[in-house]
Amino acid sequence: METTEINGLGSIHISQRAVSIIASMTAAGISGVSLGATIAETAAKKMGHASLSQGADALVEGQEAEITIRLVVTYGYRIPDIALQVQKSVKDAVEVMTGCHVTAVHIMVQDIDFSQMNAISPKDAETEGRPDHDRK
């Protein structure tokens, strides 16, 4: 499905893929976040077909969009804080760029990224701009 707007000059169609790409690129720009992938996205990437919408799916009905984001969160970041930041940023970006009303942004944390674990300890996370992981 896609969103369609008809005006005096014609019609404007915004595809689910376009909404997914906006959501994916917005989420990927947040510190402490990388995008998860479905099995199909992982296989496509291995064959050299990277997708700009990796990690995001959008369901667009009329002027409303429901989005699901699959995340990998960097170790040391507080997951609820990161998830909320992604939800707000994605909702705002999609609404501003498409004019669609975003009814929900669902977050699925698929994994934790430990690749930077040796670079910084969780105790130092706050001084490096990361939320304090011990906070409740």
In a domain, 135, yes or no: no
In a domain, 10, yes or no: yes
User: How many structural domains compose the chain?
Assistant: 1
In a domain, 136, yes or no: no
Q: What is the residue range of 55's domain?
A: 2-128
In a domain, 133, yes or no: no
Q: Could you read off the pLDDT tens digit of each residue along the chain, which spans 136 residues?
A: 667 777 888 888 899 999 999 999 999 999 999 887 555 444 445 555 555 667 899 999 989 999 999 999 999 999 999 999 999 999 999 999 999 999 999 999 999 999 877 655 555 555 444 555 444 4
pTM: 0.75
In a domain, 85, yes or no: yes
Reduce the secondary structure of the chain to three states and give it as a string. CEEEEEECCEEEEEEHHHHHHHHHHHHHCCCCEEECCCHHHHHHHHCCCCCCCCCEEEEEECCEEEEEEEEEEECCCCHHHHHHHHHHHHHHHHHHHHCCEEEEEEEEEEEEECCCCCCCCHHHCHHHCCCCCCCC
CATH code for position 85: 3.30.70.1350
In a domain, 9, yes or no: yes
